[in-house]
Chains A and B, each alone.
Chain A
Amino acid sequence: MVAVQVFGNDHAVAFAGSQGNFQLNVYKPVILHNVLESIRLLADGARSFNDRCAAGIEPNAKRIRERLDGSLMLVTALNSHIGYEKAAQISLTAYREDLTLHDAALRLGFVTAEQFDTWMRPENMVHPLERS
């Protein structure tokens, strides 16, 4: 809501700034009011967000891991080993039949269990290629 108010003030200031005639802009007070209100709201909002939210952000590691392990997009890790088409087939099979990627991959016979465990490492997917 702070952002919405500041965006509104932005329109008011731009309009007021365009309203000068000859030697004098005569919308000065409303420009000043809106700029100061924006600054105040933003500063208060940033501090409040900092103190009451950002400073206390703690990840729920268990949930994050569950969501990660359940994500069908991890199949992208197999792209460079078995190709896009087969990887896509694995994820679609897992989705349609409510399987894990592991089970779908093995059922389709595109990888061995060992290969799957070696290649399917989310922690290796967060940086650009480092392996040769």
Chain B
Amino acid sequence: MMKREKVLIESSEVIAKDTVEMVLYSMYISDVAKPGQFIHIAVEGHTLRRPISIATVDRERETITILFKIDGSGTKQLAEYSVGKELDVIGPLGNGFPVNERDGSTILLIGGGIGVPPLYNLGKLLVKEGFNVKSILGFQTGASVFYEDYFKQLGETYVVTNDGSYGHQGFVTDVMSEVGDFDTYYSCGPIPMLKAIKERLPEKHGFLSLEERMGCGVGACYACVVKTRDEQGYKKICHDGPVFTSQEVIL
């Protein structure tokens, strides 16, 4: 259940171009958070909170790790907050990635840019439960790459950069033919990437985690909706998602 919590910044570090990794101490959120959920962070002087997905959870140390890209005044200010500061957070929000695959299945994780972090938490869980995990991580350029080593510990990992300055050149879809067979995929990243994946893998069972500009973050304001194929015609990303099956959403 979501709660409004005060969480303490334990560490904050720039780990790639404009990308900050922040570890937050929260007994409650670290205890209940599931892979794919996010927190909604208040930034002083800003009307709206910033929704940021949870990258990892450490239940022993009672911490959660978030990664965000400095991409505007809110995230810039958040990046400037120092260790020891208390953040006003609502979370955990949304429904995480559902995991109900057959034992021994091979799972492909496909992350793009700042969509990579939530897949790490999921990947760790999948490996722990005995699944084979492969990953494709896409970034704009070599300087933006992060968590490559972490994903390599989970399994075979392909890194792609749009400008070819690191790893394979191109888009995540360009290396799909190299990864071999898999049963299910989980993906998070910009909408054009998710759209390309959906078109490339029409027959595969897949889950997409969507990003959108949010208002309340709890389902009340209808700002972050996605069109769906069901009778209702839409779902709220913050409340019904952010993870959806690739078949149900119209991107």
Q: Do A and B bind each other?
A: no
Q: Which residues of B contact A (CB under 8 A)?
A: none
Q: Which residues of A contact B (CB under 8 A)?
A: none
